[in-house]
Every structure is written in structure tokens, then in C-alpha cells.
């Protein structure tokens, strides 16, 4: 479903009030009954059904009457709630063109009042490719509709937490600006995905830098788990930046060595094929050097070194367990509780919606969808 934020300027205070009521109702309901939405929204003169019809027209909610008359949020509705919150916080004032799309996320340019261009990443676990996997591995049994939103929020929270922690320890990552629901705002990297690069002035130097990052991550107790040419950015000066962190795990993870070796293998294979680099294989009687393949067992690891920083950023051990179960396909019906949204929803008190300056939001978004220069 294409994100058309131009619709945002036409949504009223009541529209957002009802949209948030659906979100709050989904803490305990897969499909929120219409009468419950009306009770939560508590519109002064009623009219909840009329508002729901408007939200349904813009595909912000989905109507389901198979068991009883009710509604649930769509990803587009979740997008609008996150974007409105970011605008209210003053994080950005305009949304520009889409600059990236993947099986797990969409990325857009956004800009703030002073014209600074940033990147907004909307996590979308559960889109078509994931649903094809779900039909085979049955990640969430029959409770898929809200859990996808919940897991997308966890993915965003994890990425934001890891990005901040890595930045504080000097790793080349984007600057983490803010996070809300499934949305992460970060600095825009001026470069290209490595997969798009056909030639390098110093491929050996870039290769050593990238392998050094994998090793350094492990020394800090972390493994990227998806460190490949798609998640490495490189600029005109051949400066490397890492992106995409929702799948990172600790070196104490039971599959840590497998993930580490897979990351290393991806880099070796890509540089060997794309830039025709040849590599020496290390043997038992030869110490590892720059041309040898790094060994997981030879790295001095400090597992849990970043736990304090990650906890301070809001990503808890329970969140890690939930998202790891999703990654490994072990999420059961009751493993992911919708009540976990309490802390997120508490930031959006339905009673406080009367004081939201939505007219100001509309004026801030006058040039929304306009290409950001």
C-alpha cells in the first residue's frame, strides 16, 4: 500500500482520535468492536461511524464483519499515527520522495524546519514476502493482524537502540534522531549501497575496513547477522557506513558463530566476485593476518558489553526475546502479547487529543509529498 501523506492534511482531530482509539483497542482485540471504538474515542456528538467510514475510504483501517462488526489498523494507519507524532514533536515538517524499499521496510526523505534532510524508515514486517514465509512456517498462527504491527515496532525500537549505542562507540552508522511506533528517523547517508558500486579506487582497503567492522562488532559483543553488500553504504570518498540493525544478536547467542561466519562469507564472496580479489586461506599453523579469514573463536569477546546502553535506549531483554522468536519462526499464539503496547500507547493519551494543535500540523505539512531538495 503506497504511502500518500497528502491525505494527512485533510484528517481532522476526530479522525486521529478514532484512529488512536482503534490502536488502543487492539491491545486486547485482534478486531476491535465498533462499539468499543466509540467508547474509547468518546466523541462529543457521537459520529464515530462516520469517522470510521472516512478512515476506511483512505485505507487507514480495515473492516471485518466475519465474526462481529469491527476494525483493525492497517500499516497505512499506523504510518499516519507515527508521522503525526513525529510532526508534533518537531522532528520533521515535510515528507519527500521514497528513496528505498525492501522486504522489511520503506525509506523516505524527510526535512525539518531548517531544511535539513533526513531519512525516515518505516518497518513493515509482514508484507507480501513475509506472509509467503508465514504460510509455510506459521510464525503467528492465526493472530497475524496486530502482531505484525507489534513486531514492526520492536524492529524499529531495536534498530534505534542499536544505532545509538553503536554511534556512541564510534562505529560508522547513521545518527539516530528519533523513534515512534514502527518509524525510525535518522541522518541521511550521502552515498550508495555497495551493491550498486561497480568500481572502487581501493577495493583492498575498503574490503579490510568492512571485515574490520565485522570483527570490531564481535569484540563489542555484537554480530550484525545481515552484513552484506545491501546493508553497507559507501560514499565518493569510499567511506563505509553500516545500516540496518534489527537482526543483530549478541556473541553469546547459540548461533553466534554461524551468523558471524555467514557475515564474513558474504563479504569475501562479494569482493571476490565483484572486484576480483583473491584471498589466502588461513591454516592451523599460521596466525591470522589481514589476508586471512577471521575466526570467531580467535576474537576476544565481551558479551553483553552494550547491554547497559541498549536498556537505556528502551530496548529490553523481553523485546529481544520476542523479536528473536519471530526471526527464528518460533512465535506462538500467546508469545507476543498486545499488552506490550502499553508503554507506547501511554505516550498517546486519548483524553489529551482535544489539546492537539492539528491545525498547526496541517500548516506544517503544506509542502508534504513535495520533493525535498
Give the tens place of pLDDT for each residue, 157-208: 989 988 998 998 899 999 999 999 999 999 999 999 999 999 999 999 999 9
Burial, 60: exposed, middle or buried (Cβ in 10 Å; 0-12, 13-18, 19+)?
buried
Structural domains for the chain = 1-89 (1.10.10.10), 192-283+291-330 (1.10.510.10)
Report the C-alpha gap between 88 and 213 in whole angstroms: 37
Instruction: Please give the full DSSP string across 240-270, using - where no structure is assigned.
Output: EEE---TT-EETTSTTHHHHHHHHHHHHHHH
Report the C-alpha gap between 94 and 364 in whole angstroms: 7
- Among the options 14, 106, 226, 319, which is catalytic? 226
User: Among candidates 185, 155, 196, 169, which has minimal Cα distance to 87?
Assistant: 185
Does residue 114 have an active-site annotation? no
pTM (2 d.p.): 0.78
Give the tens place of pLDDT for each residue, 63-120: 998 888 999 999 999 999 999 999 999 999 999 999 988 778 899 999 999 999 999 9
Amino acid at each position: 500500500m503506497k504511502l500518500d501523506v497528502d491525505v494527512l492534511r485533510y484528517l481532522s482531530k476526530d479522525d486521529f482520535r478514532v484512529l488512536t482509539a482503534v490502536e488502543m483497542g487492539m491491545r486486547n482485540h485482534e478486531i476491535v468492536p465498533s462499539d468499543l471504538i466509540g467508547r474509547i474515542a468518546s466523541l462529543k456528538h457521537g459520529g464515530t461511524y462516520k469517522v470510521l467510514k472516512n478512515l476506511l475510504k483512505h485505507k487507514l483501517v480495515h473492516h471485518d464483519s466475519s465474526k462481529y462488526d469491527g476494525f483493525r489498523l492497517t500499516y497505512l494507519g499506523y504510518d499516519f499515527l507515527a508521522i503525526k507524532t513525529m510532526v508534533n514533536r518537531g522532528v520533521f515538517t515535510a515528507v519527500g520522495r521514497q528513496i528505498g524499499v525492501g522486504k522489511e521496510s520503506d525509506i523516505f526523505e524527510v526535512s525539518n524546519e531548517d531544511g535539513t534532510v533526513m531519512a525516515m524508515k518505516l518497518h513493515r514486517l509482514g508484507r507480501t514476502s513475509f506472509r509467503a514465509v508465514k504460510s509455510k512456517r506459521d510464525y503467528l498462527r492465526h493472530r497475524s493482524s496486530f502482531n505484525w504491527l507489534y513486531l514492526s515496532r520492536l524492529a524499529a525500537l531495536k534498530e534505534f537502540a542499536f544505532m545509538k549505542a553503536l554511534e556512541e562507540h564510534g562505529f560508522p552508522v547513521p545518527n539516530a534522531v528519533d523513534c515512534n511506533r514502527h518509524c525510525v528517523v535518522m541522518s541521511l547517508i550521502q552515498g550508495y549501497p555497495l551493491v550498486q558500486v561497480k568500481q572502487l579506487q581501493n577495493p583492498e582497503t575498503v574490503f579490510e575496513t568492512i571485515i574490520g567492522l565485522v570483527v570490531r562488532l564481535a569484540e563489542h559483543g555484537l554480530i550484525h547477522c545481515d552484513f552484506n553488500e545491501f546493508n553497507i553504504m559507501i560514499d565518493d570518498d569510499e567511506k563505509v557506513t553500516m545500516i540496518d540493525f534489527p537482526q543483530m544478536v549478541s556473541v553469546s547467542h547459540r548461533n553466534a558463530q554461524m551468523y558471524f561466519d555467514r557475515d564474513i562469507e558474504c563479504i569475501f564472496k562479494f569482493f571476490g566476485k565483484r572486484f576480483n580479489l583473491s584471498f589466502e586461506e588461513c591454516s592451523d599453523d599460521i596466525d591470522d593476518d589481514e589476508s586471512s579469514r577471521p575466526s570467531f573463536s580467535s576474537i576476544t569477546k565481551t558479551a553483553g558489553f552494550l547491554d547497559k546502553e541498549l536498556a537505556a535506549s528502551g530496548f529490553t531483554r523481553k523485546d529481544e526475546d520476542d523479536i528473536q522468536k519471530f526471526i527464528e519462526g518460533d512465535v506462538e499464539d500467546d508469545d507476543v502479547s498486545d499488552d506490550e503496547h502499553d508503554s507506547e500507547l501511554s505516550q498517546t493519551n486519548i483524553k489529551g487529543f482535544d489539546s492537539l494543535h492539528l491545525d498547526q500540523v496541517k500548516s506544517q505539512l503544506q509542502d508534504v509529498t513535495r520533493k525535498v531538495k
